[in-house]
Structure 1
Amino acid sequence: MRRPCATAIALGLLLTAGAARAQSSAGADAFDFLRLDANARAVGLGGAYTALATDSNALLYNPAGLARVRSSEATLMHNQYALGINQQYIGVALKRGLGFQFNYATLGDVPRTTIADPDGTGNHLNVSDTSLGAGYGWEMSPDLALGAGLKYFTETLADVSVSGYAADIGGLYRMPDIKGLVFGASLLNIGPPVKFASTAEKLPTTLRLGTAYGLKIPHNDVTLALDFTKGVLDKIRVGLGAETVFDEHFAVRAGFTTRQDAGVGLAFGLGWIGRKIGADYAFVPMGG
C-alpha cells in the first residue's frame, strides 16, 4: 500500500490511564500520554503495530520503520477520548530515514480534590502534555533495519510544569525465506526519572515485541499482526489485529487488546488509501 501523503483521523471512545491519574492521586504512572496510540490504523488493529510501523507513525511504535519509508509522507490525527480528553498528533517521515513528531494531549478541566475534600473543592485543574521528537532509521541490509529517536516532553498540572528527555530504539527483521513475515522490537521512553513536585517519577519505559504477516489473495491484501508490550510497572499486554484491503483502496480492520484502559478490549477501523491522500478511522467501544 503506497501512501505518499497520508492523513489519519482517529476518533475513539477510550478511557486512558492518564485520565485516571489526573482524577485520582494513586496507582498510575507519570507521563502516561507518551504511551497513547496516535494512529487510527494501529488503534483499529488492537495496537499491534510494532512490525508494521513503516510510515510517518514509526516514532510512536518502532523508529526502525523510518528506514523503510519509500515516499515522504505526513500524518495528521485528532483523537477524541471519553471524559473530554483530546489528543492532536503530527508525524512526518522523509524518504528513507528521517522522521519528526509532535504530540499534544489535554485532559481539560479536572476537578481539584484534597484529603479534606475528596469529592472536590469546586475548583478545577488544567492538565496538558506535549512532546516533540525526531529520529532516524538505517537499512542495514535488505532484511534488517535499525532506528533510534529522541524526544523532549513537558507535563503541566495546574501551575506545576516539568520537562525531560527520552530515547527510543528499535529494529525490524524481514524473514528472507518467508515472504510477508516481519518481526519487530522496540524499547521506548528510555530515560532517567523526572522530579514532579517532591517525587521522582519514572518514565513509562516500554518494551514492544511484534510480528506481522501479509499475504495477497485475489483483489485483496490481508495483514495479520500480533504484539506483546511490557511497561516498567505493567503486566504483559497482548494486541492482536487483522486487516483486509479491497482493490488496494478500502481497508477494514478489527483488533483486540488486553490493555485495561482500552474499553472492552475490542477495536474496529476503516481506511481509504488514495494515491496522494488517505484517511483512517478507528472506534473503541467502552464497556458497560
Structure 2
Amino acid sequence: MKKVYLSLLLIFSISLVFAGNPDRQGEAGASELLLNPWARSAGLHGLSTSFISGVESMRFNVAGLGRIEGTEFLLGNTRLYEGSGISLNAIGFASKVGERGALGLSITSMDFGEIPITTVNQPEGIGGNINPSFFHIGAGYSYTYANKISVGALVRIISESLTDVSAFGAALDAGVQYVTGEKDNFKLGVSLRNVGTPMRFAGEGLSFQSGNPDGTANYLLTVGQRSQKFELPSVLNIGASYDIYISETSFVRAAGNFTSNAFSRDNIGLGAEVHFNDFLVLRGAYKYDIGSVPGESTNNIYTGVAGGISLNIPFKKGSSRNIGIDYAYRTTSPFRGTHNIGIKLNI
C-alpha cells in the first residue's frame, strides 16, 4: 500500500505544474501522441481513464493494462479527418505475467498519403513524392493490488523523419486505477502522459551550400542549421465512472473525465456505455474545450460528439475467448469526421 500511495502522490505532485494554457497552443511537437488509434476508447472520446483495460489502456491509462484475463491482441485503423488522406495504424499485444501483473507492447504509425515534392520554380511538383515516417513504440507494465488498485508505467520511443531530416525522443506514462463497490461499480482513474525529453530535428536536410563570404576564392561552403527544440504534448487525465446493473450481465456505465493539457485548453466530457450480455456494446460521449468560443479559429478540430459500437463474438458458447469488432466515429470541423475500426482477439 505504501507503493500505491507513493505512486498517487507522485502523479498528483507532477500534476501541479499543469494548467490548460491556450497561449501555448501549437508550441508542442509530436502531436501524433494525442491521436487515438483504438475504436473502443474513441467511441467515448477518450473519457475512459477510470475503466479502460488491456492494450487500449496504453494510450490513456496504463494502469488498466493488467485488468485482462489471459492474452489480448488488437489491430486498429483510423481514417483521420475524412477527406484529408491521412490515416493512423496500430497493433498491440498484452499478456498476464503472474497473477497480478501484465506486460504490453504497442506500435503506432501514421500514413500521410502522397505528398508531391515541389520547388519555387516547379510549384506543380517535380514528379516525386515525400514519404514522412512518423511512428512510436511503447512498452508498459501494470500491477494490481487485491483487485482494487492498479498502478502502471510505460516507456514510449518516438521517431519522426523526412528525407535527410529526423527527430527522436522518449516519453514516460504513469497511471493509477481504483475500483470499489458491491460489483466493482465505482471506478476512479488518474494518468499522466507524454512526459519526456525535448526533441529536435537534425540531419543533412537542414544544410545548404553558400558562396565564400569573403570573396577571396570562388568555392562553395556547406552551412548547417540548428533547429529549435520542442516539447512533448504532456497531458493529465482524471476520470470516474459508475455502473448501473440491469441484469447479471447487462449494465449502463456513466463516465466523466477531465483533461489538463500543458499546451492547449483543458477539456471536460461526459459519456455512457450500454452493455448487453457481454455481446453488444453501444457508446456515446460529448467533450467540451473549456474556454472555447464557437467559430474561433483556435478551436479543437473535434466538435465534441463521438459514438461507437462493439460486438464480442465468442469462439464457442460459454467461452471467455472471443473476437471483438469495434467501430467509432467522431465529428470534426472542418473535414467529414474521423472513423476508427478495430479488431480485438482475446485468448
TM-score clears 0.5: yes
Give a deviation string over 1:232-272, Cα, whole Å, max 9, x none. 21111123211102232111111112254443211111110
Q: Counterparts in 2 of 1:119-138, with a 5 A limit?
A: 121-123=123-125, 125-138=130-143
* Aligned-partner SS, 1:38: coil
Query: 1:285 aligns to what?
Result: 331
Q: Distance in 1 between matches of 2:229 and 2:118?
A: 22
1:252 maps onto 2:282 in alignment = yes
The change in CA–CA distance for 1:81 and 1:271 in structure 2 (over 3 A counts) is same
Q: Distance in 2 between matches of 1:164 and 1:53?
A: 26
1:81 maps onto 2:77 in alignment = no
State the 1:212 CA deviation. Answer: 1.4
Q: Distance in 2 between matches of 1:231 and 1:278?
A: 32
Give a deviation string over 1:145-203, Cα, whole Å, max 9, x none. 11001111101244311111111111011135784111101111111211125110101
Query: 1:263 aligns to what?
Result: 302
2:42 is aligned with what amino acid? V
* Aligned-partner SS, 1:64: helix
Q: What's the TM-score once normalised by structure 2's chain length?
A: 0.69
In 1, are the aligned partners of 2:193 and 2:236 still within 8 Å (CA)? Answer: yes
* Aligned-partner SS, 1:285: strand
1:32 maps onto 2:31 in alignment = yes
In 2, are the aligned partners of 1:271 and 1:281 still within 8 Å (CA)? Answer: yes
Cα root mean square deviation, aligned: 2.4
* Aligned-partner SS, 2:66: helix
* Aligned-partner SS, 1:51: coil
* Count of residues paired in the alignment: 260
2:50 is aligned with what amino acid? A
Q: Distance in 1 between matches of 2:88 and 2:300?
A: 16
Query: 1:70 aligns to what?
Result: 69
The change in CA–CA distance for 1:270 and 1:177 in structure 2 (over 3 A counts) is closer
Query: 1:13 aligns to what?
Result: none
State the 1:57 CA deviation. Answer: 1.1
State the 1:283 CA deviation. Answer: 1.2
In 1, are the aligned partners of 2:26 and 2:263 still within 8 Å (CA)? Answer: no
Larger Rg: 2
Question: Which of residues 302, 306, 313 in structure 2 aligns to 1:274?
Answer: 313
In 1, are the aligned partners of 2:38 and 2:77 still within 8 Å (CA)? Answer: no
Give a deviation string over 1:23-69, Cα, whole Å, max 9, x none. xxx93531011111121111111210111221111111111111222
Query: 2:167 aligns to what?
Result: 162
Give a deviation string over 1:77-101, Cα, whole Å, max 9, x none. 0101120111111111102411110
Question: Which of residues 194, 208, 217 in structure 1 aligns to 2:237?
Answer: 208
Q: Distance in 2 between matches of 1:183 and 1:113?
A: 51
In 1, are the aligned partners of 2:26 and 2:264 still within 8 Å (CA)? Answer: no
1:279 is aligned with what amino acid? I
Q: Distance in 1 between matches of 2:115 and 2:259?
A: 29
Q: Distance in 1 between matches of 2:124 and 2:163?
A: 14
Q: Distance in 2 between matches of 1:63 and 1:202?
A: 22
2:36 is aligned with what amino acid? D
1:228 maps onto 2:258 in alignment = yes
1:90 maps onto 2:129 in alignment = no
Query: 1:23 aligns to what?
Result: none
Q: Distance in 2 between matches of 1:261 and 1:79?
A: 18
Q: Distance in 1 between matches of 2:43 and 2:242?
A: 16
2:63 is aligned with what amino acid? A
Q: What's the TM-score once normalised by structure 1's chain length?
A: 0.82
In 2, are the aligned partners of 1:44 and 1:241 still within 8 Å (CA)? Answer: no
Query: 2:54 aligns to what?
Result: 55
The change in CA–CA distance for 1:52 and 1:38 in structure 2 (over 3 A counts) is farther
In 1, are the aligned partners of 2:41 and 2:56 still within 8 Å (CA)? Answer: no
Query: 1:151 aligns to what?
Result: 156
The change in CA–CA distance for 1:113 and 1:178 in structure 2 (over 3 A counts) is farther
Q: Distance in 2 between matches of 1:226 and 1:113?
A: 46
Q: Counterparts in 2 of 1:99-138, with a 5 A limit?
A: 99-110=104-115, 121-123=123-125, 125-138=130-143
Query: 2:273 aligns to what?
Result: 243
